[in-house]
Amino acid sequence: MPNAKTNPRRRVIEIKPIVDPDAKVYPRSINGYFQRWRWAFIWLTQLVFYGLCWLPWNGRQAVLFDLDTRRFYLFDLVLWPQDAIYLAILLALSALALFLFTAVAGRLWCGYTCPQTVYTEMFLWLEKLVEGERPKRMKLDAAPWSVHKLAVKTAKHTLWIALALWTGLTFVGYFTPIRDLTHGIVELSLGPWEVFWVLFYGAATYGNAGFMREHMCKYICPYAQFQFVMFDRDTLNITYDRQRGEPRGPRRKIADPRAEGLGDCVDCSICVQVCPTGIDIRNGLQLECIGCAACIDACDQVMDKMEYPRGLIRYSTENAVDESLSRSEIIRRAARPRTLLYLAVFLAVSTATAWSLLNRVPLKVSVIRDRAVLSREAPDGSIENVFSLQLTNASEQARTYRVHVAGLPGLRLEKAHEIEAPPAGLGKAVLVLKVDPEAASAGAHPIQITVEDIADASVRKTEKASFWMP
């Protein structure tokens, strides 16, 4: 029978009851090493999110998923719906990266970059700015309604709504050019769908970051529910060192805890007060822990004041705690078969995708046979097959293409074709192909239709087709 030691997941998913899981959480502010990292990630991700849609590139928006024209612009890259494979690969790579980071270091994504925690942190920052620190916020919520309370709450919600609407506008700005959107707002000329989506995403941000907060992580996010499958005994997690901390209890700073039969935990509860999900990490790793490391910073400050070594709560692994592993041994165990496999697959897929994108020919060719007539005899006695040709110029320069045909002796075009296609646009032509009647037997014969840019022979594509002989 597996026990807690041989079956690591059993220990990980054990959930200790907390006092009231639905009580409103008032996280106390905390500064420290990990909180600086969290804010660095918040600044980085939000500068990219709010700023990238304003970046001009080749006379248009650098990143734009233009649903109207069904073209996706990523800097120099122009992707069409036929390139949806790259989107699928991007999603697969994101999933692989998530598996890899989760297996190595637990809920890094949740704690540092997940939009839910990032926006919650930003909304919380505004809340503290207007309502004050934790005791003031608790007092204000408990107080009866008054002019002062109404004014403070109005100020907070005004700031929240402004940030939420800006977020909604920015999000929609990746699908409709952001400058058109803002002009539309100034001139009150936005279409109903644009208004709807800006309000929809604004309301989602306001609701999730202002009210749902940790409930989203606890009850709705599917990743929170299945991430433990990726954990093992060598996964880094926020861990309370029970052996060192217990028995917990208050004491004077000058007291010798061992002489008083105490561990290093002074039972100050600051690690609980700073927790954005309102849990007590001393009860063991719990589903509700989003890995924000606020409790590490909080406890380290308490340890500093008590002049005890830092790290009573720290990033560690179950094996490290049980076997007292050194930091270098913990790092060495990060490279284990499961993580190496994730890394190898991630590197292989990303390298192949990068190679494919770098060598991508910015031309797509579609050849469709004329459905009305398979083949016919022309007045000059030759046999004709008719095809519709559609070109997609996936670059941002206007191009002119020439068509060549091959595959049968004497196969030729009725007339030479030079097909023009505008930047990121389409070119069309009807091709009439001819051969002499004695060139091939009756039936279908494979042929090749090649389209080549007149100015750049490296931009060429060959499509296969069949030529029917009567």
- Does 163 bind ligand SF4 (CB under 6 A)? Our answer is no
- Does 104 bind ligand SF4 (CB under 6 A)? Our answer is no
- Does 414 bind ligand SF4 (CB under 6 A)? Our answer is no
Q: Of residues 180-239, which lie at the interface with ligand SF4 (CB under 6 A)?
A: 238
Residues 6+ apart with CB under 8 A from 329: 320
- Does 265 bind ligand SF4 (CB under 6 A)? Our answer is yes
Minimum distance, C-beta of residue 97 to ligand SF4, in the bound complex (Å): 21
- Does 126 bind ligand SF4 (CB under 6 A)? Our answer is no
Determine contact, residues 357/76, Cβ cutoff 8 Å. Answer: no
Our CB check for ligand SF4 shows the closer of 265 and 451 to be: 265
> Cα separation of 116 and 209, whole Å?
7
- Does 343 bind ligand SF4 (CB under 6 A)? Our answer is no
From residue 181, alpha-carbon distances to 122, 169, 191 in Å are: 24, 8, 9
Minimum distance, C-beta of residue 118 to ligand SF4, in the bound complex (Å): 14
Our CB check for ligand SF4 shows the closer of 264 and 453 to be: 264
Tell me which stretch binds ligand SF4 (CB under 6 A): 118-126, 134-142, 296-304, 314-322.
296-304
Residues 6+ apart with CB under 8 A from 318: 8, 11, 12, 233, 234, 235, 237, 239
> Cα separation of 467 and 470, whole Å?
10
The tokens of 139 are what? 């007092």
| Residue 462, CA atoms < 13 Å, CB-side half-sphere | 10
Residue 112: how many other CB atoms lie within 10 Å: 23
Please select the residue that binds ligand SF4; options are 124, 313, 403, 433, rule is CB under 6 A: 313
- Does 299 bind ligand SF4 (CB under 6 A)? Our answer is yes
Tell me which stretch binds ligand SF4 (CB under 6 A): 129-137, 283-291, 365-373, 392-400.
283-291
φ/ψ of 300, rounded to 5, equals -60, -40
- Does 270 bind ligand SF4 (CB under 6 A)? Our answer is yes
Tell me which stretch binds ligand SF4 (CB under 6 A): 4-12, 141-149, 154-162, 269-277.
269-277
Long-range contacts, 152-159 (Cβ 8 Å, 24+): 155/130, 156/126, 156/127, 156/130, 156/131, 157/210, 159/126, 159/129, 159/130
Check residue 3 and report its DSSP letter. Answer: -
- Three-class SS state of 153: helix
- Does 137 bind ligand SF4 (CB under 6 A)? Our answer is no
Site size for ligand SF4, by CB under 6 A? 29
Our CB check for ligand SF4 shows the closer of 83 and 267 to be: 267
How large is the greatest C-alpha to C-alpha distance in the chain, in angstroms? Answer: 112
Our CB check for ligand SF4 shows the closer of 230 and 465 to be: 230
- Does 302 bind ligand SF4 (CB under 6 A)? Our answer is yes
- Does 408 bind ligand SF4 (CB under 6 A)? Our answer is no
Our CB check for ligand SF4 shows the closer of 267 and 463 to be: 267
Please select the residue that binds ligand SF4; options are 163, 279, 403, 459, rule is CB under 6 A: 279
Please select the residue that binds ligand SF4; options are 52, 89, 268, 330, rule is CB under 6 A: 268
Tell me which stretch binds ligand SF4 (CB under 6 A): 64-72, 272-280, 330-338, 393-401.
272-280
Determine contact, residues 180/186, Cβ cutoff 8 Å. Answer: no
Our CB check for ligand SF4 shows the closer of 251 and 402 to be: 251
From residue 307, alpha-carbon distances to 196, 255, 294, 314, 448 in Å are: 56, 11, 20, 17, 80
Which residue reads 């007590």 in tokens? 280
Strand order in the sheet with 443-453: 418-421, 399-406, 443-453, 460-469
> Cα separation of 50 and 170, whole Å?
6
Sign of CA dihedral 155, 160, 163, 164: negative
> Cα separation of 215 and 295, whole Å?
19
Tell me which stretch binds ligand SF4 (CB under 6 A): 37-45, 118-126, 195-203, 262-270.
262-270
> Cα separation of 98 and 339, whole Å?
11
Minimum distance, C-beta of residue 217 to ligand SF4, in the bound complex (Å): 9
Tell me which stretch binds ligand SF4 (CB under 6 A): 65-73, 174-182, 250-258, 278-286.
278-286
Please select the residue that binds ligand SF4; options are 12, 100, 209, 295, rule is CB under 6 A: 295
Please select the residue that binds ligand SF4; options are 12, 25, 230, 294, rule is CB under 6 A: 294
Tell me which stretch binds ligand SF4 (CB under 6 A): 141-149, 282-290, 330-338, 348-356.
282-290
- Does 298 bind ligand SF4 (CB under 6 A)? Our answer is yes
Check residue 309 and report its DSSP letter. Answer: P
Minimum distance, C-beta of residue 294 to ligand SF4, in the bound complex (Å): 4
The tokens of 104 are what? 């190595």
Minimum distance, C-beta of residue 170 to ligand SF4, in the bound complex (Å): 27
User: Which residues make up the interface to ligand SF4 (CB under 6 A)?
Assistant: 238, 245, 248, 265-271, 274-277, 279, 281-282, 289-295, 298-299, 302, 312-313
